[in-house]
Amino acid sequence: MQKYSYRFTKILLAAAAAVLAGCSSVPNKAPVEARDIKGGTAKAGSTVPAQAASAPAAPDLKLLPGAENAGKAGYYTVKPGDTLIRIALDNGQSTRDLVKWNVLDNPNRIEVGQVLRVVAPGIDAGAVSSKSVTTAKVESRPLDAKAAAAAASSAGAASAASAAQTAATAAAPAAKDGDEDPVWAWPAAGPVNIGFDDQRNKGLAFFGKAGDAVLAAADGRVVYAGAGLRGYGNLVIIKHNSTYLTAYAHNQSLLVKEDQAVRKGQKIAEMGSSDSDQVKLHFEVRKQGKPIDPAKLLPSR
């Protein structure tokens, strides 16, 4: 009996030694739970690619309104610092039209990267943009004998080439309604104190006294009246047709409201120094949204 007990003890000691040896040879690792693509736990024995297991979850990207139109003619991508008023002025449109075309719930909130329609639906944006940089061409047509005789008698010593040019110009179709140049008038009584500069002063500056009259430079409709455009103070913007806008800045008071029709020479504001270091009128003419020199359009005094 004692002999069997001794043998049994030796067997137990040998088994314990084997277990201890096995534990010391296998590193102690934290358990890893593998999950499949759908988020469930993978079955025992299945493998998950290392890249899929370690890759972070894809961010939930927000698709901004109009993103599908980015880069297309007739659309504008909002940049840091933009306001709807500035975008409208730079594209020769009214803020009201931009709100309508883009179905904006809050016109005071636009986001960087948002894409806005800046040309009316149904209008060829390519034709609109090219119209502002190309000059009108006169179509040359054969001059019949009667037209040549009439031109010669009226022009006296005019050459045949000049007579042909006159007849061709007279035969050219009239400008489309809404595209013709307005009949311009001066927006202030005083002289021009600062001229147009495409980089530093995108209009004309008239110095004066607080309360001096600011006049509409042509017939049109008020598309903005307020102080929402930084650097312009109390501002009036008038849309004259599909081509031209005028802007009147730094007023002390505004005498017109948005969507109001105005006539050339009508008093629309009083000169002031809002958002300026002195009393003055800053006057701009925009053709298809681009500033041009008003002095080239205004009549001689």
| Residue 147 φ then ψ, to 5° | -65, -40
Confidence check: pLDDT of 289 > 80: yes
| Residue 234 φ then ψ, to 5° | -75, 115
Residue 236 belongs to domain spanning: 204-296
Q: Nearest Cα to 169, choosing from 148, 139, 145, 142?
A: 139
- For 122-178, the pLDDT digits (tens) are 877 665 554 443 333 333 334 344 444 443 444 443 344 334 333 433 333 333 345
Task: Select from 94, 113, 131 the last residue of a domain.
Answer: 131
- Please report the pLDDT score of residue 64 as a whole number: 82
Is 173 among the domain residues? no
Q: From the CA atom positions of the chain, what is the Rg in Å? A: 38
- For 62-114, the pLDDT digits (tens) are 678 888 889 899 999 999 999 999 999 999 998 999 999 999 988 888 999 99
- For 2-35, the pLDDT digits (tens) are 555 556 556 666 655 555 555 454 444 444 444 4
Is 250 among the domain residues? yes
- For 101-136, the pLDDT digits (tens) are 999 988 888 999 999 999 999 877 665 554 443 333
Decide if 201 contacts 247 (C-beta within 8 A).
Answer: no
Structural domains in the chain (count): 2
Global pTM reads 0.63
Is 38 among the domain residues? no
Is 197 among the domain residues? no
